[in-house]
Amino acid sequence: MSKARIGFVGAGGIASAHLEALSKNQKVELTSVCDVVAASAHKAADQYGMQAYGDFDTMLDKEKLDVLFVCVPPFAHGDIEEKACAKGIHLFVEKPLGLDMDVIRKKAKIIRDAGIMSASGYVLRYLDTASKAREYLQDKTIGMVRAHYMTGFVTTPWWRDMAKSGGQLVEQTTHTVDMVRFLAGDISKVYSQMALRVMGDIENLNIPDVGTLSVVFESGAIGHVDTCFIQPDHRVAVEVQGRDFRVVLDGSTLTITEKDRTDTYKSETADIMFAQDSAFIDAVLTGDRSLILAPYDDALRTVEVTLAANQSAETGSPVLLGQ
């Protein structure tokens, strides 16, 4: 295959960002887009010269796709991945992969068995500063991790509904939980507290507006992640501490502090969406899976932490992962 033929399911906010990035990539052909809201599919199709569909099965039937970008909300994955796998289509699945671990694990097995390439939308892994931080930490013993994702309210209608989004942690702060895993390794235990404290006047809102997670890593390190959408500004950071050092990724800026020195690195990743999507296309075209920094199987472990945190908040008990 010299060019990857790409289809989209879901033509909302994140699909627009991928389409813009992919339209700059000479190695792709944007062929088709499907959305349950026909006008959304047509708008994207008109802009990028694609075929619009209102029905996913019809699109799969009519189009010969190499790659499918799954850009539907968390509650709407249905059997999209299974159907693409049956046709040997490579999958880019937006985070979070879904809201039910049994379903996600089943999809992961089908993806593995189909032998297709998979990627997820944990885009921050493609920051040069994230890779630099990970490399620095490679041979270090980590003591503690502190992280936060604190921001304002997202107005998208499904976002405020727990049954549709899974709440802020699952839908949004998942990026920070994923970065914590990327830098400090897998998490084996989570204990969380969540509450709806100050945003309860927003119509139809039933998700916690504040939350805090206490976590234990497989390495034995400990840490915590704070999440909220009650702030007037946006702050996201991960700090990893060990003996006489700390690594802080604040937004995209990395600072490494040791006893006698502090080094700060500004990210030079100009277009992170382009970097992520191009890496996936290159993987598909060359067969080199190592280019994909967040395959489905790995993303699954991040979703698992966030869903376990929801369960912990609900039951009041810690949850062990991988059980």
Ligand X SMILES: NC(=O)c1ccc[n+]([C@@H]2O[C@H](COP(=O)([O-])OP(=O)(O)OC[C@H]3O[C@@H](n4cnc5c(N)ncnc54)[C@H](O)[C@@H]3O)[C@@H](O)[C@H]2O)c1
Element (H, E) at 261: strand 261-265
Q: Find the binding residues for ligand X in span 61-80 (CB under 6 A).
A: 71-74, 76, 78
Which residue from 11, 116, 137, 307 is in contact with ligand X, where contact means CB under 6 A?
11
Q: Is 44 in the site for ligand X (CB under 6 A)?
A: no
Q: What is the x/- site pattern for ligand X, positions 127-166, by CB under 6 A?
A: -----------------------------x----------
Q: Which of 56, 182, 217, 274 binds ligand X (CB under 6 A)?
A: 56
Binding to ligand X by residue 19, rule CB under 6 A?
Answer: no
Cβ atoms of 27 and 3 within 8 Å: the answer is yes
Q: Which stretch binds ligand X (CB under 6 A): 7-15, 133-141, 218-226, 263-271?
A: 7-15
Binding to ligand X by residue 12, rule CB under 6 A? yes
Contact assessment for residue 19 and residue 47, using Cβ atoms and an 8 Å cutoff = yes
How far apart (Å, rounded) are the C-alpha atoms in residues 206 and 204? Answer: 6
Considering the rule CB under 6 A, would residue 34 count as an interface residue with ligand X? yes
The shares of helix, strand and coil residues in the chain, as percent rounded to the nearest 5, are 40, 25, 35
The beta strand positions in 73-141, using DSSP E, are 90-93, 118-120
CA-to-CA distance for 292 and 122, rounded, in angstroms? 11
Contact (Cβ atoms closer than 8 angstroms) between residue 79 and residue 107: no
- The yes or no reply on residue 13 touching ligand X (CB under 6 A) is yes
Asked whether position 104 contacts ligand X by CB under 6 A, the answer is no
Smallest distance from ligand X to CB 72, Å: 4
d(CA 161, CA 78): 18
Is 9 a binder of ligand X (CB under 6 A)?
A: yes
Q: Which residues bind ligand X (CB under 6 A)?
A: 9-15, 34-37, 40, 56, 71-74, 76, 78, 94-95, 121, 123, 156, 171
